[in-house]
Structure 1
Amino acid sequence: MKYIWGLPLLILLISCESDPTNRNPYLQEVSFRFDLNLNLPLYNDLSNIGNPVYVGNNGVGTRGAYVMRTGLDTFFAFEASCPNHTPSSCSTLQLDGQNVTCSCEDFTYSLFTGQQLNRPDDGNRYYDLLFYRAVRNGDVVTISN
């Protein structure tokens, strides 16, 4: 009788997969929480869809975050450090319209999706932008990890 319960348990344990390769090895997981008051002039660009804002305050991510309104009540926030190498003097992403560019290798990323737009086809693994939670509550958008 105990073999009947042991077989499904063994199958369940084997089927659970932990894939550590999804974690970005270049960026640390920084815990933070920051509120953006949409009534402040600093964040006026977030009143329109597709206008990104750089939040470079201390304690926000590794190198800050880019926040963009992507829908009526939808906001995306991404780490401002290039996800494809360790943070360095050239790794802070530069805003280029609705994209950001890493000046180290000229990698370009979309702020609508976080995806790398010019991924080399050289067989190496490349990472998309590190996503942060962005939740709107009234006139405040809270970004956090």
Structure 2
Amino acid sequence: MKKYLVLLLIPLFFGCDKENFSNNNPYLPSYSFSLNINLALPQYSNLQFPSNAVYINNGSAGIRGVIVFNTGSGYVAFDAACPNQALSSCSTMTLSGINAICPCDDAVYSLFTGQAPEKEYRLKQYRVEQLNASSLKVYN
């Protein structure tokens, strides 16, 4: 009887995931990267306060760079490429407060949810790990 109970519990352990998001998007390829962010540096100091975002484009993170956002209860990171557009000269998002705007179609995406009204795909989300009080790791 114990063997059957163990066999029933095993899928539960492997079926759980820390982040519950999907990055399946036909417009955006998946690139592996890892980015460490020191929140003590001036260019990232805004991330110490809730509802602030920073755009990072160091040439090796994400497709069009990465947008990191402090939700107040943690950090989220999204790719700066417009999720509902093929990659083009206008497909890099711009920040506007708590939103990211796609210049191709003027879609406004919430940085809290990654979604825009009436759009099929949400922003491509990346994993964020807080290493200590002043350091984040963003990776795919």
- The answer, yes or no, to whether TM exceeds 0.5 is yes
Query: TM-score normalised to the size of structure 1?
Result: 0.77
| Identity percentage of aligned residues | 44
Structure 1 residue 137: Cα displacement: 1.0
- Which residue does 1:89 correspond to in 2? 89
* Number of positions where the alignment pairs a residue of Structure 1 with one of Structure 2: 117
Larger Rg over CA atoms: 1
- What residue is the counterpart of 1:109 in the other structure? 109
Would you say the 8 A contact 1:53–1:68 is kept in 2? yes
Tell me the equivalent position of 2:53: 52
| Structure 1, unaligned runs of 5 or more | 1-21, 121-125
For 1:134 and 1:23, locate their aligned partners in 2 and report how far apart those are by CA, in whole Å.
18
Deviation sequence 1:83-132 (CA, Å, 0-9, x none)? 0111110000011111011111111100111011x316xxxxx1000000
In the TM superposition, structure 1's runs of 4+ consecutive aligned residues that sit over 3 Å from their partners are none
TM-score normalised per structure 2? 0.80
Letter in 2 for 1:62: I
Q: Note if contact 2:85-2:104 (Cα within 8 Å) is conserved in structure 1.
A: no
Q: Alignment partner for residue 139 of structure 2, among 135, 139, 144? A: 144
Contact 2:59–2:65 under 8 Å retained in 1: yes
Secondary structure in structure 2 of the residue aligned to 1:53: strand
Q: Distance in 1 between matches of 2:139 and 2:24?
A: 18
Q: 1:66 is matched by which residue type in structure 2? A: I
Superposed, which structure 2 residues align to 1:11-22 within 5 Å? none
Write out aligned runs for 1:28-47 (5 A).
Answer: 28-47=29-48
Report the secondary structure of 1:119's partner residue: coil
Amino acid at match of 1:41: P
Which ranges in structure 2 are unaligned for 5 or more consecutive residues? 1-22
